[in-house]
Amino acid sequence: MLNISPNKLNRTVDLSKYKAGERVFHKRHYKRFNQFLLAFSIIVLIILFLPWTQTISGKGYLTTLTPDQRPQTIQSPIPGRIEKWFVREGDFVKKGDTILFISEVKNEYFDPRLVERTGMQLKAKEMSVTSYQEKVKALNTQISALNQERGLKLQQAKNKLLQSKLKVQSDSIDLEAAKTNITIAQRQYDRVVQLQSEGLKAMTDTEEKRLKLQETQAKLISQENKLLASKNDVINAQVEIGRVQAEYTDKISKARSEMMTAQSNQFDSEAQVTKLENEYTNYEMRSQLHYIRAPQDGFINKALQAGIGETFKEGDRLVGIMPANYDMAVETFVDPIDLPLVHIGEKIRIQFDGWPAIVFNGWPNASYGTYGGEIVAIETFISPNGKYRVLVAPDPTAEEWPKDLRVGSGANTLALLDDVQIWFELWRQLNGFPPNYYQPETSGSSSKTAKK
């Protein structure tokens, strides 16, 4: 029992003589077992050389192909208070249908006639702009009239100046004539005095000549006064021209100043009109925001703000809506090491949660319950879960996806890569190598070179 003796029991004792030994050491049993092992080895060897499709598995969920078809929440751009609901959860609404009515919570918008009164203010300011425009036109007319009157007044003063200058010339000639007359009168008087001293003339003649000399001297003085008066008239005419120029310059400047003031008031009123138009449009649009409407056809999922009289801030979510019309897609995620192997346009096999399936990763043709897909988008930035997001659309050349699929349900994906033999895939899996790197045939000559 302890195997101390060097003698072998099976060599000295024939166990085949016993019934138990005969059953155990029957040679036919060895022969069948060896045949089984040989057949199994041949089958396994054949299987190792069968083709195997390399795959990249991923897990995701159902979504929509475009962002505007995905479930969304409706927010209010203004703060308010819920006054009335027009829908219930699960109702179907069309685009533009009213979902709920809200009221204002800010005191500056409490006035129910705010839009109407703002419109009245706008009309009043527009009339003010019109009145200022008319005042500017009147002042322009006044300035034109003053310019015309100034021209006439200046022409009149210039004519008077010319007349005064001509009068000076006339008086100057008369003065010269008076000087000539006084010279003649002085000579006649001197001759008469001499003749009278010689006794040739009477005293009466002498007195007449003296009187005539004095009259001539008086005329000379009078003519000098006239000449001085004429020169004074010339100066007065020149002063009048300057006065007229200054007077009408002052009037025109004052009128222009009033016109500029009127234009400034006009521009200020126009700015206020523009501001009131902006406020009127804002108030009008804000009043329309009191009715929360459906942005598109869809189903009301859930009321995120419930009750009557509940207040909320701008941007708060009020209700969720699911679009009625959408194109189904699958959003799946792949590991960073597998990202270079995934390309747009490649075929994907998908298993949906709730649909029974028998999946053979390497034999997609033998799988049951999977559906075809095609990669339409690959995210270039890693997601928070440490993987890259891939969007898969239905393959138009494969079987149609089930009609009862709903957005948000789970899905498992298999990206079909290169075809290799099973022994190579086992060797790759045991060593932890990634699938074979290759490029699609449509990527160009450089890709073909890389594949080689």
Residue 98: per-residue pLDDT: 92
- As beta bridge partners, residue 207 has none
> Residue 448: pLDDT band by 50, 70, 90 thresholds?
very low
231 to 165, 168, 399: CA distances (angstroms): 7, 6, 121
The tokens of 198 are what? 């010689």
What are the Cα distances from residue 72, in Å, to 69, 294, 312, 318, 412? 9, 11, 18, 11, 25
pLDDT for residue 450: 37
101 pLDDT higher than 90: yes
pLDDT at 444: 42
Q: How large is the average pLDDT for residues 313-338?
A: 88
Q: Is the pLDDT of residue 439 over 80?
A: no
**What is this structure's pTM?**
0.56
Distant-in-sequence, close-in-space partners of 168: CB < 8 Å, separation ≥ 6:
227, 230, 231, 233, 234
How many CA atoms within 13 Å lie on the side-chain side of 75? Answer: 8
Asked whether 429 and 438 are in contact (CB, 8 A), the reply is: no
Among 27-41, 122-136, 223-237, 263-277, the minimum mean pLDDT is found in 27-41
Cα–Cα distance measured from residue 114 to residue 240, given in angstroms and rounded to the nearest whole number: 63
The answer for residues whose C-beta is within 8 angstroms of residue 50's C-beta and 6 or more apart is 421, 422
**What is the pLDDT at residue 9?**
61
Query: pLDDT tens across 153-194, in order?
Result: 889 888 888 888 888 888 888 888 888 888 888 887 788 778
> Tokens 């302890």, residue?
2
State mean pLDDT over 359-374: 66
User: Closest Cα to residue 276, out of 418, 66, 118?
Assistant: 118
Which one of 40-54, 208-222, 329-343, 379-393 scores highest in mean pLDDT? 379-393
Coil, strand, or helix at residue 38?
Answer: helix
Are residues 237 and 161 in contact, defined by beta-carbon separation less than 8 angstroms?
A: yes
HSE-CB of 373 using CA atoms within 13 angstroms = 32
Strand ranges (E), 261-354: 291-293, 298-303, 311-312, 317-323, 328-334, 347-352
Candidate from 218-222, 238-242, 327-331, 365-369 with smallest mean pLDDT:
365-369
For the chain, the maximum distance between any two Cα atoms, rounded to a whole number of angstroms, is 228
For 62-105, the DSSP string reads: EEESSGGGS-EEEE-SS-EEEEEE---TT-EE-TT-EEEEEE--
What is the tens place of the pLDDT at every residue in 5-39?
Answer: 666 666 666 666 667 666 666 555 566 777 788 88
Q: Rounded to an integer, what is the distance from CA 338 to the centroid of its chain?
A: 40
Lowest model confidence (mean pLDDT) among 108-112, 231-235, 358-362: 358-362
Tell me: pLDDT of 449 over 50. Answer: no
| pLDDT, position 446 | 40
Q: Which two tokens stand for residue 243?
A: 């006065």
Per-residue pLDDT band at 293 (split at 50, 70, 90): very high
Task: Give percent above pLDDT 70 in the chain.
Answer: 83
pLDDT of residue 361: 55
Question: Is the predicted pLDDT of residue 350 greater than 50, yes or no?
Answer: yes
Cα distance between residue 354 and residue 406, in whole Å: 11
Question: What value, to the nearest 5°, has the Cα angle with vertex 116 and ends 115 and 121?
Answer: 95
Q: Specify the pLDDT at position 451.
A: 38
For residues 243 and 339, give the distance between their C-alpha atoms in angstroms, rounded to a whole number. Answer: 96
Average model confidence (pLDDT) for the chain?
82
Mean pLDDT value across residues 356-362: 59
320 has a pLDDT exceeding 50: yes
**So what's the pLDDT on residue 26?**
58
> For residue 21, what pLDDT is reported?
64
> Of 144-158, 343-357, 376-390, which range is least confident?
343-357
Range with lowest mean pLDDT among 209-223, 294-308, 402-416, 422-436: 422-436
Exposed/middle/buried for residue 316 (C-beta within 10 Å: 0-12, 13-18, 19+): middle
Which residue pairs, CB below 8 angstroms and at least 24 apart, start in 285-288? 286/78, 286/109, 287/114, 287/115
> What is the C-alpha to C-alpha distance for residues 362 and 422, in angstroms, rounded to an integer?
9
Over range 90-96, report the average pLDDT: 91
Residue 323: beta bridge partners?
298
